[in-house]
């Protein structure tokens, strides 16, 4: 006996993600899902981002790793609400983890929710977390061909951040080629260049967030 | 290795189909895994075997379709299967296209043992 199914394998995750997206919309929360390899500087970028925001900004963060609370401790220094999601062995965040981590937070008190995914350019691509947009980050120490090696995330993300640009004089990284590679996979994709040690490009990134948030959550 | 989590989701779906059909044994699962879905078929097959071992699902067969990446030009609407990562339209050279196939990750069917005659 053959039962026709025709549904997405991750339909359970997708259903939960739809629920999260509805909650975010109802409470006017703009949610960003930040994805990169381990060590590209997601946490550092978020540290500089939080430092650049006024203390009154209504921002919250979820940060995913396999183990340790290290990232949450780093991010908590800025004084905004942070929760660590430790996945055990799982290489990505899924919608149920995000739903649990939001816990008793009152979403009405949050304007922007940053979700720092587990460091991985492959698996997080498949999991909808109910976010408004995925953002991919890679750094100049990784090689300019990252977009060609991991095209799915670069195709699906709305913004590409190239981090650690302060190291450009010291590494054989061809910035023009990197941007051309991004555009080969995703024509017209916006690219922001940042340095978290020299605090460069953070205002460009914040400006992008404000523009994107305005389209996601019209006044 | 998100294939393991995906394998579990597939097995859960097969188990549910069995329970909805008087516990009939699952013989085969049909899957559609696009070439850019980000899922490694060998790793997924291994995950399904490993997770089903010692359960009523052990020994089930897989029937896997592998759709190729297919794009539709946003300008002239012609459809094409690109070489490698290229996204340009071969008909009009337009540089933007929508992905219409190749990223599938679907369960298509589940084949169950016929229930015994009454």
- The Cα A89–Cα A70 span in angstroms is 16
pLDDT exceeds 60 at position B118:
no
- The Cα A164–Cα B44 span in angstroms is 35
Task: Identify the residue whose tokens are 């992905």.
Answer: B99
Give pLDDT, residue A169.
97
First to last CA, chain B: 45
Q: Of B38, B85, B111, which has the smallest distance from its Cβ to A126's Cβ?
A: B38
A197–B contact, CB cutoff 8 A:
no
Q: Which residues of chain A lie closer than 8 angstroms to B82, CB-CB?
A: none
Higher pLDDT, B21 or A171: A171
Would you kindly state where each structural domain of chain A is located, as residue ranges?
11-216
Query: Which CATH number applies to B3-68+101-112: 3.30.479.10, 1.20.1260.10, 1.10.150.170, 3.30.2320.50?
Result: 3.30.2320.50
Number of H helices, E strands in chain B: 2, 6
Please check whether residue B105 is in contact with residue B97, taking contact to mean a CB–CB distance below 8 angstroms.
no
Q: Please, which residues bridge with residue A159 across strands?
A: A135, A190
Q: How confident is the model at residue B116 (pLDDT cuts 50, 70, 90)?
A: low
pLDDT exceeds 90 at position A187:
no
Residue A201 makes CB contacts below 8 A (sequence gap 6+) with A161, A165, A192, A193, A194, A195
Q: Of B31, B95, B115, which has the smallest distance from its Cβ to A187's Cβ?
A: B95
Query: CA-nearest residue of chain B to A147?
Result: B85
Would you kindly state where each structural domain of chain B is located, as residue ranges?
3-68+101-112
Give tens-digit pLDDT for A27-37: 999 999 999 99
CB contact under 8 A, A151 and B36: yes
Q: Which residues of chain A lie closer than 8 angstroms to B2, CB-CB?
A: 90-92, 122-123, 126-127
How much is the pTM?
0.85
- B34 phi, psi to nearest 5 deg: -65, 155
**What topology does CATH give the domain A11-216?**
Rossmann fold (3.40.50)
Higher pLDDT, B24 or A208: A208
Return the beta strands (E) in chain A as ranges. Answer: 2-8, 30-36, 59-65, 82-86, 112-116, 133-139, 159-163, 190-193
Q: How confident is the model at residue A62 (pLDDT cuts 50, 70, 90)?
A: very high
pLDDT exceeds 90 at position B23:
no
Average pLDDT over residues B72-100: 86
Arithmetic mean of pLDDT over chain B: 90
pLDDT exceeds 90 at position B89:
no
Give tens-digit pLDDT for A89-141: 888 999 999 999 999 899 999 999 999 999 999 889 989 999 999 999 999 99
Q: Of A5, A125, A155, which has the smallest distance from its Cβ to B107's Cβ?
A: A5
Tokens linked to A172: 């054989």
Q: Which residues of chain B lie closer than 8 angstroms to A155, CB-CB?
A: 99
Chain A, chain B: beta-carbon pairs less than 8 Å apart: 86
Closest CA to A36 of A183, A154, A212, A197: A154
């Amino acid at each position: 006996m053959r039962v026709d199914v025709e549904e997405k394998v991750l339909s359970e995750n997708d259903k939960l993600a739809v629920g999260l997206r509805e909650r975010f919309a109802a409470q006017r929360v703009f949610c960003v899902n930040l994805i990169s390899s381990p060590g590209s500087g997601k946490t550092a970028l978020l540290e500089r981002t939080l430092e650049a925001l006024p203390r009154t900004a209504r921002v919250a963060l979820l940060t995913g790793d396999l183990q340790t609370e290290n990232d949450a401790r780093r991010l908590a220094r800025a004084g905004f609400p942070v929760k660590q999601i430790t996945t055990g062995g799982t290489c990505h965040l899924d919608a149920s983890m995000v739903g649990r981590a939001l816990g008793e937070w009152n979403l009405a008190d949050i304007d922007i929710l940053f979700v720092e995914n587990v460091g991985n350019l492959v698996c997080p691509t498949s999991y909808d977390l109910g976010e408004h947009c995925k953002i991919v980050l890679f750094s100049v120490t990784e090689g300019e061909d990252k977009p060609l090696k991991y095209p799915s995330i670069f195709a699906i993300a709305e913004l590409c951040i190239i981090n650690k640009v302060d190291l450009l004089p010291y590494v054989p990284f061809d910035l023009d080629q990197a941007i051309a590679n991004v555009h080969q996979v995703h024509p017209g994709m916006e690219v922001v260049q940042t340095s978290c040690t020299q605090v460069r490009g953070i205002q460009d990134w914040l400006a992008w967030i404000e523009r994107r948030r305005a389209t996601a959550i019209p006044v | 290795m998100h294939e393991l989590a995906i394998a579990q989701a597939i097995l859960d779906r097969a188990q549910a189909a069995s329970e909805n059909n008087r516990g009939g044994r699952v013989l085969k699962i049909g899957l559609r895994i696009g070439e850019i879905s980000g899922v490694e078929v060998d790793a997924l097959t291994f995950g399904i075997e490993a997770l089903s071992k010692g359960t009523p699902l052990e020994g089930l067969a897989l029937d896997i379709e592998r759709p190729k990446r297919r794009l539709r030009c946003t300008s002239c609407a012609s459809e094409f299967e690109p070489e490698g990562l290229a996204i340009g339209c071969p008909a009009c050279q337009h540089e933007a296209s929508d992905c219409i196939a190749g990223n599938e990750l679907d369960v298509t069917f589940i084949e169950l043992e016929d229930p015994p005659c009454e």
